[in-house]
């Protein structure tokens, strides 16, 4: 098994590739951050659901896509080589409010809207539109 230097980027690429191939779901190695990210996207209505399959230490995250929604546009913002942090007053809307930015903050993973309401900034992981 290859070592993945950017697990979040790998998850987003797996999701983009699965949607481009017309698949209803994709699989990725499980981590707590990836699980939280997918649960946040499901809670916001961008994914149908998230499940965990397999036995520990080889558990997999199974991400189910919505069938009535067009393909997600997933973009990685903060990368291992270039971290992007933004204060609450620097947060901009994504696609004029039709998309979301996902931030990791001191209070966990939040969308840009939730971060503005709580008045906290953080590292911008990705944008979804």
Provide the residue-wise pLDDT of the chain in tens; the chain has 129 residues.
688 999 999 999 999 999 999 999 999 999 999 999 999 999 999 999 999 999 989 999 999 999 877 778 999 999 999 999 999 999 999 999 999 999 999 999 999 999 999 999 999 999 999
Strand 60-64 versus strand 49-53 pairing type: antiparallel
pLDDT of amino acid 33 = 97
Domains and CATH numbers, the chain: 7-64 (3.30.1370.30), 74-128 (3.30.1490.10)
Burial of 20 (0-12, 13-18, 19+ CB in 10 A): exposed
Q: Indicate whether this model's pTM tops 0.85.
A: yes
Do 90 and 84 contact (CB within 8 A), yes or no?
Answer: no
Q: Nearest to residue 39, comparing CAs of 28, 48, 29, 30?
A: 48
């Amino acid at each position: 098994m290859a070592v993945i230097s950017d697990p979040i980027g790998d998850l987003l690429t797996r999701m983009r590739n699965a949607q481009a191939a017309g698949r209803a779901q994709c699989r990725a190695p499980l981590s707590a951050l990836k699980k939280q990210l997918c649960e946040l996207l499901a809670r916001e209505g961008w994914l149908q659901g998230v499940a965990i399959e397999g036995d520990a230490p080889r558990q997999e995250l199974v991400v189910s896509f919505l069938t009535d929604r067009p393909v997600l546009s997933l973009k990685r913002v903060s990368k291992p080589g270039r971290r992007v942090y933004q204060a609450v007053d620097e947060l901009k809307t994504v696609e004029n409010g039709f998309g979301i930015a996902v931030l990791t903050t001191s209070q966990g993973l939040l969308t840009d809207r939730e971060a503005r309401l709580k008045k906290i900034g953080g590292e911008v992981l990705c944008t979804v539109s």
